[in-house]
A and B are shown apart, each in its own frame.
Chain A
């Protein structure tokens, strides 16, 4: 709505009906197109958003039981304890919308056959005890569904040391070989949609896991995915 003008009436002028009515007529016409030239800063409150028009939408998956999902796969597998760990989205984002995803869970009693990352005298071997998680977004642009990794994050199997077994020659604590289990995993990231509004449909987000060495078995118990769609 544009700024509404008024006539300058001064003493001695004789107002006529058209002059007096014009501003009111203009308001009546232009008030159908009120915009930010007509409103005060910070006028809006949460109560002004229509009921189906939240600024953010929330999508979740959670498994809160105590059963395990075990894998020794060296390629990513969707965690499946009592059903696949997937948060169903099924919405079409607008340009520059944000998808914010957080995931966490518990790594339960693992079987780390290879818990070391250095084997003397070969020195640093780095990888053998690694395992990793991935958040995978499935989307559809009109044809077959496709996927994109939102991110990967890693951990390592490790075993407990013990002050009871200090090596006399080395002064370095010996290791009991007992796996350190029941630890949490957690990560989060965000994704901006750069395409045209309404073209792409986000279908689901999957939580996946893999191990570097198939001799190790990763077990995951409680886990969850929280996705926030930031719209406005």
Chain B
């Protein structure tokens, strides 16, 4: 309600009709019956006591994949993780490891669930409210070996520059953040993202692009080419418009 004018002015010596009285009264009262807006409320009047506490937005998931959410009057948070805590291991032990020489994977972006079916439940999925999705994926991973100690030649060897890994965040299957090539080593990679959204269902996933080559001839014995994951986390803040 910006400003309210009387609907049917009553002037001195006018005959008062009941209908006029009712219309004016109804207009006045209707303001309080659902039309109070920013112009009627004093600025700096909303104190903590007048705001709801956070509420769990959707059912939590516990186990090796752990998920939870919390919803507030102005924003909501969603979180999914799989790490050494949820797998009850130490930080030096991968929570999954696959041999890229024998595993099934593609040359495009691979869902983690393709490499390990446990990650089927990992992507965030929730009903967003119109506004922004601001979040971050953090992945602790290692693709193959980076430095080989060759006792026979008493020398250290390395992978070449055509051995790399790239990570991307997908929101509803649209790539919104990518890292570029990352060369062999164990690495914790952070992928921040921010996209506008409507009031809609949203799925947020992190996927990996792998470039690999075979050690078929050397050195002997062949060096393993595992893809290891130590932790994967995505959190997302839905900031309402």
Q: A and B bound?
A: yes
* Contact partners of B6 in chain A: CB under 8 A: none
Cβ contact within 8 Å between A173 and B235:
no
Q: Known interface pairs A120-B152, A132-B92, A172-B148. Does A47 touch B44 (Cβ–Cβ under 8 Å)? A: yes
Nearest Cβ in chain B — how far from A187, in angstroms? 5
- B43, B156, B218: the one contacting A177 at CB < 8 Å is B156
Flag whether A141 is at the interface (Cβ < 8 A): no
Shortest distance from the beta carbon of B41 to any chain A beta carbon, whole Å: 6
How far, in angstroms, from A96 to B78 measured CA to CA in the complex?
12
Q: Which of B28, B85, B224, B237 contacts A230 (CB 8 A)?
A: B237
Say whether B156 contacts A116, CB under 8 Å. Answer: yes
Please report the C-alpha to C-alpha distance between residue A120 and residue B219 in the assembled complex, in whole angstroms. Answer: 9
Q: Given the interface contacts A10-B19, A156-B146, A171-B217, does A230 sit within 8 Å of B151 by beta carbon? A: no
Q: A44-B46, A55-B74, A189-B81 are in contact. Are A4 and B33 (CB under 8 A)?
A: yes
The residues of A that contact B187 with a CB separation of less than 8 Å are 155-156
**Set of chain B residues within 8 Å of A158, measured between Cβ atoms:** 146-147, 184-185
**CA A186 – CA B189 in complex, angstroms?**
7
Instruction: Give the chain B neighbours of A3 by CB distance below 8 A.
Output: 33-34
A118 to B235, CA, bound (A): 34
B99-155 residues at the A interface, CB under 8 angstroms: 136, 138, 140, 142, 145-153, 155
Q: Is the CB of A38 within 8 A of B18?
A: no
CB of B53 within 8 A of CB of A45, answer: no
A176-216 interface (Cβ within 8 A of B)? 176-177, 180, 185-190, 192, 197, 212
Between B52, B55, B186, the greatest number of chain A beta carbons within 10 A of the residue's beta carbon is seen for: B186
Known: A123-B223, A153-B188. A34 touches B157 (CB 8 A): no
Best-buried of A8, A39, A232 by chain B (most CB within 10 Å):
A232
Q: Could you tell me the distance between the alpha carbons of A180 and B185 in the complex, rounded to whole angstroms?
A: 11
CB distance from B169 to the nearest CB of A (A): 13
Of residues 47 through 95 on chain A, the ones whose CB sits less than 8 Å from some CB of chain B are: 47-51, 53, 55, 94-95
Task: Please name all residues of chain A whose beta carbon is closer than 8 Å to the beta carbon of B181 when the two chains form the complex.
Answer: none
Check if A173 sits within 8 Å of B159, measured CB to CB.
Answer: yes
Chain A to chain B: the 6 pairs with minimum beta-carbon distance, closest first: A161-B158, A96-B54, A175-B156, A170-B218, A156-B186, A116-B149
A interface residues, Cβ below 8 angstroms from B: 1, 3-4, 6-15, 20, 23, 27, 30-31, 34, 37-40, 43-45, 47-51, 53, 55, 94-98, 100, 102, 104, 115-121, 123-124, 126-127, 129-130, 132-134, 149, 151-156, 158-162, 165, 167, 169-177, 180, 185-190, 192, 197, 212, 230-232
Q: Beyond A100-B235, A116-B148, list 13 extra A-B contacts (CB 8 Å).
A: A20-B21, A30-B32, A43-B38, A55-B73, A98-B54, A98-B77, A116-B147, A116-B149, A132-B91, A156-B187, A167-B155, A172-B215, A189-B233
Can you report 26 residue pairs joining A to B where beta carbons are below 8 Å apart? A6-B22, A6-B26, A11-B17, A15-B18, A37-B34, A40-B34, A48-B44, A98-B70, A102-B136, A117-B145, A118-B145, A118-B224, A121-B221, A149-B85, A155-B185, A155-B186, A158-B147, A172-B148, A173-B159, A180-B185, A188-B190, A188-B233, A188-B235, A190-B79, A190-B235, A232-B74
